[in-house]
Structure 1
Amino acid sequence: MKSQLTEAYNLLIEKLEGWFNLIITNIPNLVLAILVLATSYFVAKYVNKYVSKLVAKRVQENSITNMIGRLSAVVVVLAGLFLALGILNLGKTLTSLLAGAGVAGLAIGLALQGTLSNTFAGIVLSFRKKIQIGHWVETNGFSGEVMDINLKDFTLKEADNNMVVIPNKLILENPLKNYTLTTRMRIFLECGVGYESDLDLVEKLTKETICNTFDQIESPDDVEFYYTEFGGSSINYLCRFWIDAENALEKLRAKSKAIIEVKKAYDKEDINIPFPIRTLQFDNKLDFEMPEMDNKQFSNN
């Protein structure tokens, strides 16, 4: 029994001496690893601030700016950690960490597939110059002003003041019409005049009225006018012209103004804008009186 205790004691002392010698031998590497970790921590802080300022110049959303800054800081810290493990000759530990990180990343990615897709889509949308807060856009069946682009969703305010929240993934995968990217919009005005109207006068009057209504139209020749068909009660035409506008609301206002002014001009020149009339004619007499029944037949019943 004594010999076994002595042997165990000697093994313990030998093990402790080995560890002590190992620590003494690796003190320079340990100090260097600690310095690397500390340096990476402080560098990560400056990288976070610098990247956040750099991203803020192109992205208006604070949530996305902060997230990108923090991600850059995490990358710096992880790089310092891997470098420190390499200095300590812990290659196997480093390999295990990388393998574990890969498996964990795969599991998290599968579990949060929808959330991550919206997050990355939000980052991509934030860096697109053609989609900015304040633009008037139309997408996924909705039209309105872009109010917010964050890591989860895309917020629109429609013309009726309703807020529409759309997942970022749908914005990135579907077509988007941006009215703000151009300062000009084309107005389509369709109408009809009576068959007795002077068609040359109608065309001239319509062009002049549109030209005088909108300052951006320099000449009546800039207004397009085409007769399109002989309708059931009128000769119909299509009038097209360009205006300076950046959203659909300005386009609606311009079309409404054009309709008002054209109607006034037609009234002054006694130009008729006909509308369908339905005439109901009752020229047949309906007999609502019941025929007299034979008394004999009545008695038999």
Structure 2
Amino acid sequence: MKEQFNKSLENLIDKLIRWFNTIIENIPNFILAILVMIAAYFTAKYISKLVVKLVGKKVEQDSIKKAIARVSAVVVVTLGLFVALGVLNLSKALTSLLAGAGVVGLAIGLALQGTLANTFAGLMLSFRKKIQIGHWVETTGYSGEVIDINLKDFTLKEADNNLVIIPNKTILENPLKNYSLTTRMRVFLECGVGYESDLEKVEQLTKQVIANSFDQVKSADDVEFYYTEFGDSSINYLCRFWIEAESMLAKLRAKTTAIIEIKKAYDKEGINIPFPIRTLEFNNKLNLQSNQDSSKPSN
């Protein structure tokens, strides 16, 4: 029993001595590995700041800039960790770490497919020059001003001040109309006048009123005017003209102004804008003789 104890003690001491010798031999490697990690840390901080400055020239959103900077810092620190493990001759640990990272990454990717899709879509949207914060856009049935683009969603503020939050993936996969990419918009105005109206006078008056109401319309000749149909109660027309505007609200204001001024001009000139009516005609010439004959009793 005593011999077994002494033998076990000798083995333990032998192992401790070998470990100690190994540590002494690898002290330079330990120091070098620590220096590598310290260098990687400070390099990551510098690259993070540099990435924020570079990305800031293309992207306005702070959330996107910070996310890209963090990813860059993580990549640099990870590379430093791999170099440090290589310095310590831990190639097997490095291989196991890479294999584990691959398995974990696959599992996370499968579990967060929707989230990752929105994240990558947010990055792509942030670098698109045709979609910027402050633009007035219309997509997936919603219309409003873009007030935020982050890694998860796309936020619109509608004309009624309601906020609409749309997943980035939805924005990227659906058509989007951007009213702010051009400084000109065309206003469409439809109306109708009574059948008794002088159609040539209506056309000239309408075009002149619009030309006088908007500085962007140089003359009446710049206003398009077309009669479109004989309606049930009126002769309908379509009027079109260009204005300087970058949002749907400006277009609606211009249309409102045009309707008000046209109504004033029509009232002054006695031009009727009829509303739908239905006229019922009754024939009062009754055939009394036939009625009387039918009322006589038959023999």
TM-score (norm 1): 0.87
Bigger drift between 83-92 and 118-127 goes to 118-127
How far residue 98 of structure 1 moved from its aligned partner, in angstroms, is 0.7
C-alpha distance in structure 1 between counterparts of 2:118 and 2:229, whole Å: 50
Alignment identity in percent? 74
How far residue 113 of structure 1 moved from its aligned partner, in angstroms, is 2.1
C-alpha distance in structure 2 between counterparts of 1:164 and 1:14, whole Å: 71
How far residue 254 of structure 1 moved from its aligned partner, in angstroms, is 0.6
Q: Deviations over 1:36-74 (max 9, x none)?
A: 011101111112222123223332222222222111111
Match of 2:97 in 1: 97
Bigger drift between 180-189 and 1-10 goes to 1-10
Residues 1:224 and 2:224 are matched in the alignment: yes
C-alpha distance in structure 2 between counterparts of 1:235 and 1:142, whole Å: 34
Match of 1:20 in 2: 20
Match of 1:40 in 2: 40
C-alpha distance in structure 1 between counterparts of 2:276 and 2:4, whole Å: 116
**How many residues are matched?**
285
AA of the residue aligned to 2:119: T
How far residue 96 of structure 1 moved from its aligned partner, in angstroms, is 0.6
AA of the residue aligned to 1:51: V
C-alpha distance in structure 2 between counterparts of 1:195 and 1:278, whole Å: 15
C-alpha distance in structure 1 between counterparts of 2:277 and 2:80, whole Å: 84
Match of 1:66 in 2: 66
Q: Which runs of 4+ in 1 moved over 4 A?
A: 280-284
C-alpha distance in structure 1 between counterparts of 2:224 and 2:279, whole Å: 36
Unmatched 5+ residue regions in structure 1? 285-301
Bigger drift between 82-91 and 161-170 goes to 161-170
Unmatched 5+ residue regions in structure 2? 285-299
How far residue 156 of structure 1 moved from its aligned partner, in angstroms, is 1.4
Match of 1:205 in 2: 205
How far residue 11 of structure 1 moved from its aligned partner, in angstroms, is 3.3
C-alpha distance in structure 1 between counterparts of 2:13 and 2:269, whole Å: 117
Q: Deviations over 1:258-282 (max 9, x none)?
A: 1111122222332222222224567
SS in 1 for 2:218: coil
AA of the residue aligned to 1:233: S
C-alpha distance in structure 1 between counterparts of 2:206 and 2:279, whole Å: 31
AA of the residue aligned to 1:163: L
How far residue 179 of structure 1 moved from its aligned partner, in angstroms, is 0.9
Q: Please, what is the CA RMSD of the aligned residues?
A: 2.1
Q: Deviations over 1:56-103 (max 9, x none)?
A: 333222222222211111111100000111111111111110111111
